[in-house]
């Protein structure tokens, strides 16, 4: 969640400059303060524009399940 909105960033995991783990550790958490913080860095306008592309307008429980299932599916495919 960021700024009271939910996002499905599963398609962005592999290309996130901070790494996949950073997103997974913050999954289902409000990352508004984290993204606005200067530690480790403040996110650019481009980062927020990219984030907007992943916004989903569904309830949190459904969002959690959708993201979790996609992450598990991708991890399973990578192991095969």
Give residue 80's pLDDT band: very low, low, confident or very high (50, 70, 90): very low
C-beta separation of 9 from 55 below 8 A:
no
Number of C-beta neighbours around residue 61 at 10 A: 8
Tell whether the model's pLDDT for residue 16 goes beyond 50.
yes
1 vs 20 pLDDT, higher one:
20
| Domain range annotation of the chain | 6-79
| Fold designation for 6-79 | Flavocytochrome B2; Chain A, domain 1 (3.10.120)
pTM: 0.61
Average pLDDT over all residues of the chain: 77
With bands split at pLDDT 50, 70 and 90, how would you rate the model's confidence at 28?
confident
Q: Is the pLDDT of residue 27 over 60?
A: yes
Q: CB neighbours (10 Å) of residue 20?
A: 15
């Amino acid at each position: 969640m960021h700024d009271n909105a939910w996002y499905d960033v599963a398609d962005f995991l592999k290309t996130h400059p901070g790494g996949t783990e950073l997103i997974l550790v913050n999954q289902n958490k409000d990352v508004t303060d984290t993204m606005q913080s200067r530690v480790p860095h403040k996110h650019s306008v481009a980062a927020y524009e990219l984030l907007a592309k992943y916004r989903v307008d569904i309830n949190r429980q459904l969002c959690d399940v959708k993201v979790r299932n996609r992450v598990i599916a991708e991890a399973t495919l990578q192991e095969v």
